[in-house]
Amino acid sequence: MKFFCVGRNYRKHIEELENELPQEPIIFSKPETAKLPKDRDFYIPEFSDNIHYEVEVLVKIKKVGKYIQPEFAHKYYDQIGLGIDFTARDLQQKLKKKGLPWEKAKAFDGSAVVGEKWFDKKNFENIQKINFSLLKNQEKVQKGNTSAMIWKIDELIANISKYFTLKMGDIIFTGTPAGVGKVKEEDVLEGFIEEQSVFKVNIK
């Protein structure tokens, strides 16, 4: 399996990092080894002094697909989840400035937190109206609603599958809302979909 991630899908997050509004979705991937193993703490890697959390709604692909049209995209997933796209922001800024790929800043081991809890999309009246949030040490640092996505889930699937074959078990990180920030040792991050706790990660 692999992870696909969407950059700059929420306007307020684009503004906080002073990025440009993209003309089409910005997609990058993480390999399977990026997944933080279940119940494992996140260790700040030695190559970064500025690891940021980015809470994101996840979509799990349930069957293989290529060139999926937006109107059929809903047939390719049932499960909605929540995770963190950990980012070495200092390294990413350096790479971006030189026009180099972001992999080292985005796809390193442990950079993909995937909440154990998944929700059937039928549980939501509208998947483009889901509230989600991240608490750091019990304080809310990020909150979003999927209605604010620039590209909706079905449009993302259509765009990604133009370039990459989607396979069963692939997971899409759909972008982060505003409020990203740095983690330090002993922080505890907890993610919520609506009122339900989906994951908890200790930073070491």
State which residue, 102 or 118, has the beta carbon closest to Zn ion: 102
Least spacing, CB of residue 87 vs Zn ion, in Å: 7
DSSP assignment of 43-89, as one string?
PPPTT-S-EEE-EEEEEEE-S-BSS--GGGGGGGEEEEEEEEE-EEH
| Residues at the site binding Zn ion, with contacts judged by CB under 5 A | 54, 85, 176
Cβ distance to Zn ion smaller for residue 72 or 101: 101
| Minimum gap (Å) between residue 71 Cβ and Zn ion | 26
Nearer to Zn ion, 92 or 161 (CB): 92
**Least distance (Å) between residue 41 CB and Zn ion:** 21
Residue 80 bridge partners (DSSP): 59, 119
Task: Please state the closest distance from residue 188 (CB atom) to Zn ion, in A.
Answer: 20
The C-alpha atoms of residue 170 and residue 201 are separated, in whole angstroms, by: 22
Residue type, position 1, single letter: M
Q: What residue number has its CB nearest to Zn ion?
A: 85
The rounded distance, in Å, linking the Cα atoms of 93 and 97 is 6
202 close to 188: Cβ distance less than 8 angstroms = yes
Residue 85 or 154 having the CB closest to Zn ion:
85
